[in-house]
């Protein structure tokens, strides 16, 4: 009687942790006076800095103070929805009404808010902005 012995192949697989998908910020808290207001990111038109403070501008055009700096905030926002147009502003794509070439190398952006808000890209950001906006 012959015994058949099956050889099992051992596969040496080193454990690799799956790369986590980035979790973008979905809510943010702004302050107006003593009130702390929670905003869904879909209701935020833009973030901007002025006099060393960071503000959130909501869909109604009302501004609120944030307790974060713009550079840190930029890293937590979904880059398919938000774009940093210059050192002062980060805009939400849903609130870009129109844009046009300005002084040959920059772009003037008009936000879709009750009052007219005009922003200008820096020269270095013009090409990446076009790529971002046309990529949608």
* pLDDT score, position 23: 85
CA distance 10 to 122: 57
- How do residues 51-106 score in pLDDT, each as one tens digit? 999 999 999 999 999 999 999 999 999 999 999 999 999 999 999 999 999 998 99
Main-chain phi, psi angles of 127, to 5 degrees:
-65, -45
CA distance 82 to 80: 6
Please name the helix (run of DSSP H) or strand (run of DSSP E) that holds residue 108, with its range, or none: strand 106-111
CA distance 122 to 100: 13
Main-chain phi, psi angles of 93, to 5 degrees:
-60, -30
* pLDDT score, position 134: 93
* pLDDT score, position 13: 47
CA distance 90 to 37: 20
Residues 91-123: b if buried by 16+ CB within 10 A, e if exposed? bbeebbeebeeeeeebbebebebeeebebbbee
- How do residues 5-57 score in pLDDT, each as one tens digit? 555 555 554 445 454 556 899 999 999 999 999 999 999 999 999 999 999 99
Q: Which residue has the higher pLDDT, 64 or 115?
A: 64
Name all domains of the chain by residue range, CATH numbers in brackets.
Answer: 27-134 (2.40.50.1020)
CA distance 117 to 57: 10
């Amino acid at each position: 009687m012959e015994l058949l012995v099956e050889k099992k192949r051992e596969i040496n697989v080193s454990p690799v942790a799956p790369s986590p998908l980035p979790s973008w910020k979905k809510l943010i808290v702004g302050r107006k006076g003593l009130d702390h207001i929670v905003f869904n990111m879909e209701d935020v038109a833009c973030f901007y800095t002025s006099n060393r403070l960071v503000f959130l501008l909501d869909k109604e055009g009302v501004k609120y103070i944030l307790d974060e700096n713009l550079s840190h905030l930029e890293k937590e926002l979904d880059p398919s929805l938000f774009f940093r147009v210059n050192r002062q502003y980060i805009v939400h794509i849903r609130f870009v009404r129109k844009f046009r070439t300005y002084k040959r190398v920059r772009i003037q952006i008009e936000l879709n808010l009750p009052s007219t808000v005009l922003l200008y890209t820096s020269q270095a950001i013009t090409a990446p902005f076009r790529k971002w906006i046309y990529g949608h």
